[in-house]
A and B are shown apart, each in its own frame.
Chain A
């Protein structure tokens, strides 16, 4: 982390080390986008208010700068032309010199800290809104409908959340810009009423004209950028598949395809850049013409003796200083509001997704009563498998059973047993209660139906093996489980404790990942463990060791292995193979 440790303070208003524990953001998924925006602003109002006050001060000070320069010209420089000696201007020189120092100081500090406070507001609300979105996605009750692509969910949780929070910019910068423009009008009015009035009348017209010119261009630019394929990401994806591509000698095809993607991205980029160039050209010309018009008007007044030359200099300075706030105002108000509303809508859509019907149960069972004596721990009653056949079976407490099903059937059974799908026909009962009637978390505490994909998370091998529920499970049990899963310490680069993997665990081989996932399931030690092809990436000899060790380890608990592997069949109490020997039983 560079030269700065996490404990060093980098500057004022640096956030504390620990994340905040209080929630500031109130969200109701039924709200409109505008209402969510309002809530985002209210949630971080202290920072936003302080930030915009400082930026208002900045806006005023920025406009006073040309006034001070004009005064210096009038009181110090101009007398020289009249032949006055330098000694007689030292007084004004000191005073207006100090004023210039003061104005610079105010400009400097107000902008720095105003912007910083506003930025913290954006960060703070983004932090909370993103957590809210992820909490919804990770709700144990699940979401209705088919599984969503992770990329789409990620886009809402990060991109849309960020853009929804950009609404804060509308409250941070525009007040300072508006006050700055008003200050300019007051200064010009004080110099000559006609100049002030002229600016007050012309300014809104200029803003509206710039807005009108910007609308089609900006809309196009946003659209082009949204549709722009991320050429770098595609390149990385292709190169990551180097071995696959070279394995089938497809490097020319892949490079050719990338050229197509790259050219498409280029067209998109160029279209977006051209649109922006047009907008930049129009806004530059408009703003400078406006400044020129103000100077010309002031010059005419000066020629007729109604303005001093210092005042002319001030007017010229103010006219130039108008451009910044004007540009900012047009940009902020027009873009950020529209962008934030579209994203706030997408955030709300995700937050208001109904729960998965399989996760609505509330039965929590009687936790004090052990299941030991129950005759049928699990009863599968005419469960319709994806191919239309019906599965009927019972599993008693303490049994080690192998069920041989096709993949689609395996998935359906694990989904039903983990409260992620409701059987279309038939019933699955745990302790005589339909699985969908169980509270999903309670059900998953009793029944661990492990998905086939070995999902690992960032951390050490041991941490992964201990990961079930909110708190890490017992370390000794996890070590035993890793041995049951036949993953030896020597096989890992730095043993159980120090071999670290990233999310996905791609640093390890498929077989190693699979055995860690198996060890995690063994460590969890549920009443009913349901494994799906737990050793498909493990060699035949090791597979047999695992099957035998697992059988011994699970004595007294109930285990179902969904597999056709001979190793597990060999150790099972019972084989349920509805597809062997004709019709399913």
Chain B
């Protein structure tokens, strides 16, 4: 889009509420809820095995206190319980991890698949106003955040909750008064958690931001290595990366300091709790309500809660971010896909008629005013005009991206028969063949090569190390802007549409291949209705009709020869364009 899309809007993409997140997850668990119950049961049992050891040691202490010289019969039961708990803990840890992976990882895979499908299905005008930034961030950061954190955090939440409950129950069984010591730690943990959630996220975010700046500087430098070499920017870029890298060192250390303090506070709480439980135990012992075995069991039981609670605290900040990430992912998934389907008048011959169409992005500034236009099936129309004259907007309206603010557009082309190629040529991470076959999944390599040949780009695979199977895109083999434009044209050709809109589709291509590009454009527009926006006037000249626009209005239209005769704006443009060409003809 000209002008408007370059502004980065803060996305109006929705964020799901906690309730919507819960409802969506519950729905996704349909048919797996029994498994969820089984999983929680495994965690409960795993937490239960943890209390066996302290209780048995406590009973051993009392058994020792009451026997002298011989091993009592009860000992063999205690031995069996210890060994059984150890083996059970191993089996439960194994089974729990597997069950959790199956459930959580599958749900996360479905979440990211639903997200991609929903994001790609968002109405185009949403993306035209919001920009792709927000949907991309949600795809990368939020999906990664949820995928990394949730499978890790869920068992910690479950196990530490169960451990607290089971230890609480066991302590109550020994003597409810032990709970005083245990209860003392809970507000301390809560305070620690509050401190951590207030301090840590900003530091972690700064750490990630520093890491990302460094990564961008490195990747940016490596991607633009030819420029770095030509302009002798090696030292400058190295210094820049070095400074960014040192910032990551500083933030990594601050992150570590925060974690160290969290450990310090958890450790202090542990000490206070142990003191309290021992104090209660000693008091009970001297009031004859507890045996030494009970006191031992209580102390060891308390110590059992420390590791799971610490593990939980350490992921709480990530868990918080993961829940926010879920809100952003599900916000898009739950977004109703309401694409304004272009009105079809029955037949599919590529006929488009605009009746007195006006358009405005913001409701007040008119971008298009009172445009009436009939494009015949198979006709190729060029839109010519200065930046901001409304040509891209007109093309977007004809392609059905925006509904007109006033007036009416009749189209005899179904939406899936309209193909738009813009200057924005994204090279997808994958092979060259995958990039092409996106438009026609069933195409084999021969068909793809044919399409490249038609658009004059058969040299692209030939120049790559593995031909059509070369990995391109982010981190892959770099493609020139020209090659990317050629790929876009080939893709449009493979899609075989009834109406094709080329909005500066060849702007990034090399002028060295002008003839090839004009040829490619002609090959692509041949036999279908076409709308061409190109600053290369030679492309406009070969269209059936040229429409010249200014300030959202059509100021002149006709074919190339007719417009030259009128000596209007187009004739002036053409004179400027062709002066170099004429001289060149003289030179040869």
A238 touching B242, Cβ below 8 Å:
no
B232 touching A444, Cβ below 8 Å:
yes
B286 touching A86, Cβ below 8 Å:
yes
Does A234 interact with chain B (Cβ within 8 Å)? yes
Determine, out of A2-10, A176-184, A188-196, A390-398, the stretch whose residues face the partner at the interface.
A2-10
Return A23 CB to nearest CB of chain B, in Å. 12
29 of the cross-chain contacts (CB-CB < 8 Å) are: A4-B254, A14-B253, A73-B292, A77-B292, A108-B263, A151-B476, A234-B429, A235-B143, A237-B473, A239-B116, A250-B439, A253-B439, A257-B438, A262-B109, A270-B101, A276-B97, A296-B82, A299-B63, A300-B71, A300-B75, A302-B60, A303-B63, A303-B70, A303-B75, A316-B296, A406-B512, A407-B480, A520-B231, A537-B507
B292 touching A81, Cβ below 8 Å:
yes
Give A85 to B573 CA distance when docked, in angstroms: 109
Give A149 to B8 CA distance when docked, in angstroms: 30
List 10 other contacts, CB 8 Å, given A250-B438, A455-B223.
Answer: A6-B250, A97-B275, A100-B271, A112-B260, A249-B418, A450-B230, A456-B224, A457-B233, A510-B423, A533-B511
B215 touching A507, Cβ below 8 Å:
no
* Other-chain residue from A6, A289, A404, A469 in contact with B232 (beta carbon distance below 8 A): A469
Give A101 to B278 CA distance when docked, in angstroms: 13
A452 touching B480, Cβ below 8 Å:
yes
Return A471 CB to nearest CB of chain B, in Å. 8
Query: Given the complex, which residues of A lie within 8 Å of B459, measured CB to CB?
Result: 408
Query: Given the complex, which residues of A lie within 8 Å of B186, measured CB to CB?
Result: none
A15 touching B250, Cβ below 8 Å:
yes
A232 touching B232, Cβ below 8 Å:
no
Query: Given the complex, which residues of A lie within 8 Å of B93, measured CB to CB?
Result: 277, 280-281, 284-285
- Number of B interface residues at 8 Å Cβ cutoff, please give it: 186
Determine, out of A130-138, A346-354, A479-487, the stretch whose residues face the partner at the interface.
A130-138
B579 touching A407, Cβ below 8 Å:
no
Does A263 interact with chain B (Cβ within 8 Å)? yes
Does A152 interact with chain B (Cβ within 8 Å)? yes
A3-B202, A284-B89, A295-B57 are known contacts. Are A458 and B220 too (CB-CB below 8 A)? yes
B257 touching A457, Cβ below 8 Å:
no
B113 touching A255, Cβ below 8 Å:
yes
A247-B422, A262-B113, A455-B228 are known contacts. Are A151 and B78 too (CB-CB below 8 A)? no
B535 touching A540, Cβ below 8 Å:
yes
Query: Given the complex, which residues of B lie within 8 Å of A157, measured CB to CB?
Result: 218, 222
Does A569 interact with chain B (Cβ within 8 Å)? yes
Q: Mark A18-38, 1 if CB is under 8 A from B, else 0.
A: 111000000000000000000
Interface centre among A69, A135, A309, A445 (most CB of B within 10 A): A309
B512 touching A533, Cβ below 8 Å:
yes
Query: Given the complex, which residues of B lie within 8 Å of A149, measured CB to CB?
Result: 471, 475-478
Does A171 interact with chain B (Cβ within 8 Å)? no
Query: Given the complex, which residues of B lie within 8 Å of A251, measured CB to CB?
Result: 117, 120-121
A288 touching B89, Cβ below 8 Å:
yes
Does A240 interact with chain B (Cβ within 8 Å)? yes
Does B45 interact with chain A (Cβ within 8 Å)? no
Return A166 CB to nearest CB of chain B, in Å. 14
A104-B271, A250-B438, A273-B97 are known contacts. Are A312 and B60 too (CB-CB below 8 A)? yes
Give A277 to B151 CA distance when docked, in angstroms: 13
A80 touching B112, Cβ below 8 Å:
no
B256-291 contacts to A (CB < 8 Å): 256-258, 260-261, 263-264, 267-268, 270-271, 274-275, 278, 281-282, 285-286, 288, 291
Does A227 interact with chain B (Cβ within 8 Å)? no
Determine, out of B131-139, B312-320, B552-560, the stretch whose residues face the partner at the interface.
B131-139
B216 touching A510, Cβ below 8 Å:
no
Determine, out of B158-166, B177-185, B355-363, B487-495, the stretch whose residues face the partner at the interface.
B487-495
Return A458 CB to nearest CB of chain B, in Å. 7
* Other-chain residue from A80, A285, A517 in contact with B87 (beta carbon distance below 8 A): A285
B234 touching A139, Cβ below 8 Å:
yes
Return A555 CB to nearest CB of chain B, in Å. 20
A138 touching B228, Cβ below 8 Å:
yes
A150-B223, A239-B116 are known contacts. Are A158 and B218 too (CB-CB below 8 A)? yes
Query: Given the complex, which residues of A lie within 8 Å of B254, measured CB to CB?
Result: 4, 10-11, 14
A458-492 contacts to B (CB < 8 Å): 458, 467-470
Query: Given the complex, which residues of B lie within 8 Å of A17, measured CB to CB?
Result: 250
* Other-chain residue from A97, A253, A407 in contact with B510 (beta carbon distance below 8 A): A407
* Other-chain residue from A1, A115, A503, A547 in contact with B260 (beta carbon distance below 8 A): A115
Does A78 interact with chain B (Cβ within 8 Å)? yes
Determine, out of B21-29, B345-353, B374-382, B580-588, the stretch whose residues face the partner at the interface.
B580-588
Determine, out of A329-337, A375-383, A559-567, the stretch whose residues face the partner at the interface.
A559-567
A251-B121, A511-B507, A566-B578 are known contacts. Are A119 and B78 too (CB-CB below 8 A)? no
- Which B residue's beta carbon lies closest to that of A409? B512
Query: Given the complex, which residues of A lie within 8 Å of B224, measured CB to CB?
Result: 453, 455-457, 503-504
Does A388 interact with chain B (Cβ within 8 Å)? no
Interface residues on A, range: 35 or more
Return A33 CB to nearest CB of chain B, in Å. 23
- Which A residue's beta carbon lies closest to that of B222? A150
B113-171 contacts to A (CB < 8 Å): 113, 115-117, 119-122, 124, 127, 132, 135-141, 143-144, 147, 151
Query: Given the complex, which residues of A lie within 8 Å of B511, measured CB to CB?
Result: 533, 535-536, 563-565
B140 touching A292, Cβ below 8 Å:
no
Return B432 CB to nearest CB of chain A, in Å. 13
Return B486 CB to nearest CB of chain A, in Å. 11
Does B48 interact with chain A (Cβ within 8 Å)? no
- Which A residue's beta carbon lies closest to that of B299? A69
A255-B117, A564-B511 are known contacts. Are A274 and B576 too (CB-CB below 8 A)? no
A503 touching B109, Cβ below 8 Å:
no
Does B219 interact with chain A (Cβ within 8 Å)? yes
A154 touching B60, Cβ below 8 Å:
no
A10 touching B257, Cβ below 8 Å:
yes
A138 touching B291, Cβ below 8 Å:
no
Give A407 to B483 CA distance when docked, in angstroms: 11
Does A410 interact with chain B (Cβ within 8 Å)? yes
Does A259 interact with chain B (Cβ within 8 Å)? yes
A150-B219, A243-B426 are known contacts. Are A510 and B278 too (CB-CB below 8 A)? no
- Which B residue's beta carbon lies closest to that of A157? B218
Give A86 to B288 CA distance when docked, in angstroms: 11
- Which B residue's beta carbon lies closest to that of A317? B300
B68-110 contacts to A (CB < 8 Å): 68-72, 75, 78-79, 82-83, 85-87, 89-91, 93-98, 101-102, 105-106, 109
A453 touching B219, Cβ below 8 Å:
no
* Other-chain residue from B71, B109, B300 in contact with A265 (beta carbon distance below 8 A): B109
A292 touching B82, Cβ below 8 Å:
yes
Return B124 CB to nearest CB of chain A, in Å. 6
* Other-chain residue from B112, B264, B281 in contact with A262 (beta carbon distance below 8 A): B112
Query: Given the complex, which residues of A lie within 8 Å of B300, measured CB to CB?
Result: 313, 316-317, 320
B583 touching A233, Cβ below 8 Å:
no
- Which B residue's beta carbon lies closest to that of A402? B584
Does B51 interact with chain A (Cβ within 8 Å)? no
Does B564 interact with chain A (Cβ within 8 Å)? no
Query: Given the complex, which residues of B lie within 8 Å of A53, measured CB to CB?
Result: none
Give A530 to B87 CA distance when docked, in angstroms: 74
Query: Given the complex, which residues of A lie within 8 Å of B512, measured CB to CB?
Result: 404-407, 410, 533, 562-564
B231 touching A448, Cβ below 8 Å:
yes
Does B191 interact with chain A (Cβ within 8 Å)? no
Does B65 interact with chain A (Cβ within 8 Å)? yes
A72 touching B101, Cβ below 8 Å:
no
Determine, out of A200-208, A428-436, A574-582, the stretch whose residues face the partner at the interface.
A574-582
Does B543 interact with chain A (Cβ within 8 Å)? no
Does B174 interact with chain A (Cβ within 8 Å)? no
A239 touching B136, Cβ below 8 Å:
yes
3 closest A-B pairs by CB? A151-B475, A285-B90, A566-B580
Give A78 to B429 CA distance when docked, in angstroms: 70
A144-158 contacts to B (CB < 8 Å): 146-147, 149-154, 157-158
- Which A residue's beta carbon lies closest to that of B91? A281
Give A408 to B254 CA distance when docked, in angstroms: 50
